A and B are shown apart, each in its own frame.
Chain A
Amino acid sequence: MKQSKRAQIHMSETIAVLFIFFILVLFGSVFYYKYSEISFKQQQEEMFAKRAIDTTTKTLFLPELLCSKGESGAEQFCVDMTKLRSAETVFNNNKGYYFGMFSYANITVQQIYPEVVDGGVDTWIVYNNLKPDTTKIEPTYFIVTLKDETHQSEGKPSYGFGVVKVEVYS
């Protein structure tokens, strides 16, 4: 009898040890899963921020918008208004191609100065591709010169003050 009880107690002890061991393993697994989830979300955030910067960089150096000075090359941080006015149509008609460049984003150019009279256009949508179930929007702003050669003064083009807004959707 005594031996049988001892054996039972021994078996119970072993089962208890195993039970606690697996409980601890379970806690470890849950913790590791949570850690991985947080790490993954952090990585997603960083990738999203990187995409915002890459999209802004590409926008600011688009040959479709950049001002040019003949053979001298492009003027930095300058948007050619004669190109800008047709950019929306061209980008819209070729959305598939530009999606490869910008993905889900909204890129607009707004003229701050000179102020536009009522009824005039002061904001041009360069590219707009809204993601159906957006969870996050990251806007980046940049100031640019707006060069308009069709509004000349003494043979020189007029320069406005504008903002490029690049919104990246997640």
Chain B
Amino acid sequence: MKKTKQGQIQITFHWIYVAIAGAVILLFFVGVVVKQKAVSDEQLSFEVIQIMESIFTAAEVSESTKNTLDISGLANLPFFFSCENGISEFGIQDQSSRVQNDIDPLFSMKTIQAPRLVLWSLPYKLPFKVIDFLFIIPSNMKFIVLGENDFADEFIDTSHDDNILLNIDVTQVNTLSDINPGMSSHIRLVIFDGNTPPNIIPDSLLFTFPDEKVSAVVFRGDNVQYYQKSGASWIADGQSVPLIIVPGERQAAKYAAVFAGDREMYLCGMQKAFTRLKYLSAIYTAKIAEIVEHYSTKTDTICYSEFTSIGRNNIQEVLHYYSIDVNLCNEGIEVLQPQSCVPLMSTAVTLMAMNNDMQNSNCISVY
């Protein structure tokens, strides 16, 4: 009897022991696997972001070119782009891996979830090249142009490319009721000619799109105003922003206004450009000093009499006022007062005209 009871107890404890030990070991390995999965996800997002950063660097230096980036393998990962206080940041939502950049202006929507990105780089000139703007355009985003002017025609023209993968979906409509959003995930209305967004949102956009996916940018002369859909109406995104540009084609600041997610992103990108301009103008100031010294020994040339001698039309003086306006612009934009950059436009145009005159006279030009 005793031996039977002992055997029963022994077997029972044996199996309890096996169950507990097995459970502990299983839990241990399950814990390792779960932790490892989380680490792998972080690792993947880190690698993706690093690769994208490299691609963005290469795309940016490929001036005036478009590139395409296939991210269909990451179609279920939403990317976020933000820019605040002159620092842009991008990464994968809900992941800790992100890249910060306080140098290169990036303009894109605030969140992107698309199979493909079009990366387009344009140089910002004021009037010499300051920096390359990089536009990140999701392939499933639609731009609807209302109104007509030279830039509207240029925008529609440049959006089309022989390579179908580099096309940007841009449609021109006569009235907002003609809008057909199709399968787009984002809609941006680009309005010219002083038209304002209507008081009501078209039915085609009202019910099918969440508010954050529909926005508008209105070009009024040398200013742009951003609007965001809010229910059945438009809400203005802050005050209008001046476009600091010089005459010419492919004005990067205008394209930046079209592709920037909102007013804050646009201003933030422009702030980076003006910061860079501050240092560039110091380089050009030194260059002009060398040019002036060079022509100081050639006083019989038109280059000396017209452009570098003390008096009117002195290139050094023009650049001096330009540098002052650059500094004023930087101070203003840091406190979100972009209107302080407006005087910079006229001095940039004066510099541009003088540079052209110097080139036409076969003199060493500023740029």
Contacts and interface: CB of A to CB of B under 8 A. Distances in A.
Q: Note whether A and B contact each other (Cβ less than 8 A).
A: yes
Interface of A: 3, 47, 50, 53-54, 57-58, 60-61, 63-64, 66, 68, 70-71, 73-74, 80, 82-83, 85-87, 89-90, 93-94, 97, 100-101, 149-150, 152, 155, 157
Nearest to B248: A71
A97 B63 contact: no
B301 to A, nearest CB: 11
10 A-B pairs closest in CB distance: A86-B286, A61-B61, A68-B367, A149-B364, A82-B287, A150-B294, A90-B282, A63-B129, A82-B290, A54-B57
B241 to A, nearest CB: 24
B356 A74 contact: no
A73 B63 contact: yes
B283 A70 contact: no
B128 to A, nearest CB: 6
B149 interface: no
Given A57-B61, A58-B57, A82-B291, A87 B365 contact: no
A70 B63 contact: no
B: interface residue count bin: 35 or more
Contact of B103 (A57, A64, A73, A100): A100
A83 B291 CA distance: 11
Q: Is the interface of A mostly helix, strand, loop or mixed?
A: helix
B279 interface: yes
A87 B283 contact: yes
Nearest to A51: B54
Nearest to A150: B294
Given A90-B279, A90-B283, A150-B364, 13 more contacts: A58-B57, A60-B61, A61-B132, A63-B128, A70-B355, A73-B129, A83-B283, A83-B284, A83-B287, A85-B290, A87-B283, A101-B103, A150-B294
Interface of B: 6, 50, 53-54, 57-58, 61, 63-64, 101-103, 123, 128-132, 248, 275-276, 279-280, 282-284, 286-287, 290-291, 294, 355-356, 359, 362, 364-365, 367
A50 B54 contact: yes
B283 A68 contact: no
A74 B280 CA distance: 15
7 contacts: A53-B54, A54-B53, A70-B355, A83-B284, A86-B286, A90-B279, A149-B291
A59 B286 CA distance: 20
B144 to A, nearest CB: 31
A50 B49 CA distance: 13
B9 to A, nearest CB: 12
A101 B131 CA distance: 13
Nearest to A63: B129
Nearest to A94: B279
B330 to A, nearest CB: 12
Contact of A100 (B61, B102, B128): B102
Contacts of A83: 283-284, 286-287
B57 A150 contact: no
